[in-house]
Amino acid sequence: MCLLCMVQGTEIGFSRFDFKKLSGNDNVKLNVMNFGAVGNGKVDDSKAFLNAWTHMCNGTTGIITTLIIPQGRTFLVSPTIFNGPCKVKYPVVQVDGKIIAPAKGAWNGKPDRWIQFSNVYRLTIKGSGQIDGQGSTWWDQPNEMRPTALVLANCMGCLLRGLTHLNSPRNHISIFGCRELVISHINIIAPENSYNTDGIDISHSKGIRVQDSFIGTGDDCVALGDGSKYINITNVHCGPGHGVSIGSLGANGSEQRVEHVYVRNVHFNGTMNGARIKTWEGGKGYAKRISFDGITLENVYNPVIIDQHYFNKRSSERSAVQISDVVFRGISGTSTNAVVINLNCSEVIPCTNIVLDNIGIRSTRRGAKASSYCAHAHGAVSKTSPNVPCLV
């Protein structure tokens, strides 16, 4: 079997959605200002937003209905859920102004999300505006429940494009139960020391594209959790942050699965990790058919890492999440660590069919030479520096 050829050339089986239809002439336009929004950043505009959404969603005139959040205005919005399905065929939310979350003390109860779109088909959220979670007052309370800024749940055939997402209290964008969704040309920004502020979290979703975007936060740029399948991450700049992570999977003995993930042409700058797969001891399930291809590194601490002992110290657990059919290809650049390739796999269920091809990583640590670590990993290696002897 040619291990080096196993994932090469594999493409995601998207049923492509034709977003060009959104340029049609039959477009009804609504403005939140006409539904009572004030847009001064002080008055709560949540009710106006919901009224405008309901009017748009239930619209029966026009193939496309666009809800405009105008530029030059700042809209204070409390935790709000925008529900579908909608009667209008192509609902569009055009965000050109700025949407801000309430101050921490103004939240009622302990919500886990700020803005959510649920059960909406063919939704487009686009524009030149900002979604600001104002999360700085939350970051010093790591054990407190903190809200995700934007959640897309059970949506299909949707597009998120052009916006800037700032300073979420926790994850900036969470994708759950979605199908055929494209995230493109967005910016996600939070300080490096902002705790658990993942850029994009994906779970229980299929056919998701993340492309042509900048993500720099205090945690994973993109994190793929249980049920992620046919995920394509392309042309993304990541940093600061913790890299592109598969997992963590298998916490508390759970059975979790991720498969068919393709990460291409991603630049990591000053991140904790680059291409990472992480699983807990004692878990079940698998992470398989994963490729990281065309990756460039600039001062990344853990450029290539598989860790089947995430948050553990080799306990007596007798199960593990199986990791197999993983390709790291065309990876180059620098690391601030001496160990630049780390394959820390499980003795119980080793990593199999791991391929390293055309890799060159240098250490910038003073007096250090780039090296690798490898335990219980099986596969093949070619044109890789530093060498990984266990795969030969």
State yes or no: is 55 an active-site residue. no
**pLDDT tens, residue by residue, 23-59:** 445 788 999 999 999 999 999 999 999 999 999 999 8
| Stated length of the chain | 392
Active-site pick, 242, 260, 267, 309? 242
For residue 355, the model assigns a pLDDT of 98
pLDDT at 226: 98
Please tell me the predicted confidence (pLDDT) of residue 390.
Answer: 87
pLDDT digits (tens, 9 = 90+) for 225-242: 999 999 999 999 999 999
The pLDDT > 90 percentage for the chain reads: 84
Q: What is the pLDDT of residues 354-390, one digit of tens each?
A: 999 999 999 999 989 999 999 999 999 999 999 999 8
Question: Which pTM does this prediction carry?
Answer: 0.94
Mean pLDDT of 82-101: 96
pLDDT digits 0-9 by tens, 306-323: 999 987 655 566 789 999
